[in-house]
Amino acid sequence: MDADAAAPGRGPRPVVVRYDPAWALAASKLGEQLRDTLGPLVRRVEHIGSTAVPGMAAKNVLDLQVSVSDLEEAAGAFDRPLAGLALHRQPFERDHVPAGSGDDPDRWAKRVWSRRRQQTHDVNLHVRLVGSPNERLALLFRDWFRANPQAVPAYGAFKLALADVVPDIGTYADVKDPVVDLIVVVAEQWAARTGWSPGPGA
């Protein structure tokens, strides 16, 4: 669920690194900044993706999710304040729909801002509709791995190996997406068995 294709074209080669405990603190501080900067349109802010999973190898890019009630209103209102945080809008407006779901791609709409090569961490900011399937999936992916730490080393090793052999970030995403789809099948079973839900605001 990281924004692996958050740049036009196929992009540079991916760089996956070992888990860095500093990611959690940096994401928490940025989340506070986002709440203060974006105001009442924000329903929730969450650290998502691989950097949000203790022990997980990941690209050194923080993924955060802002959930909103109106995607178009938020997109129009967020450009200027996010530019003040060096976050700039990207052209991607939909998430990958998990294979076999048959879901309407329009239900997987989002907006993305990114920050690169600043003094602070690189960032992908995903803005999604509260209650949407892609908002839910980002949280489920994170929470399943947190609840099943025995799965973290294998997925991390897969990403490290993949990054070593693919030519660009686009290919990395193309190969990784079906693997994520398989993880989602298991995570959905876990969610049904445990009664997991995204929590307040979703």
Query: What confidence tens digit (pLDDT) does each residue in 28-47 have?
Result: 999 999 999 999 999 999 99
Tell me the DSSP string of 127-184. EEETT-HHHHHHHHHHHHHHH-GGGHHHHHHHHHHHHHH-SSHHHHHHHHHHHHHHHH
- pLDDT value of position 7: 42
pTM of the entire predicted model: 0.92
Rounded Cα distance between 200 and 110, Å, is 20
Question: Are the beta carbons of 94 and 77 closer than 8 angstroms?
Answer: no
pLDDT at 201: 52
Which comes out higher in pLDDT, residue 139 or 99? 139
185: three-class secondary structure by DSSP: helix
* Cα Rg, the chain, nearest whole Å: 16
Q: Which domains does the chain have, with CATH numbers?
A: 16-194 (3.30.460.10)
Mean pLDDT of all residues in 160-185: 95
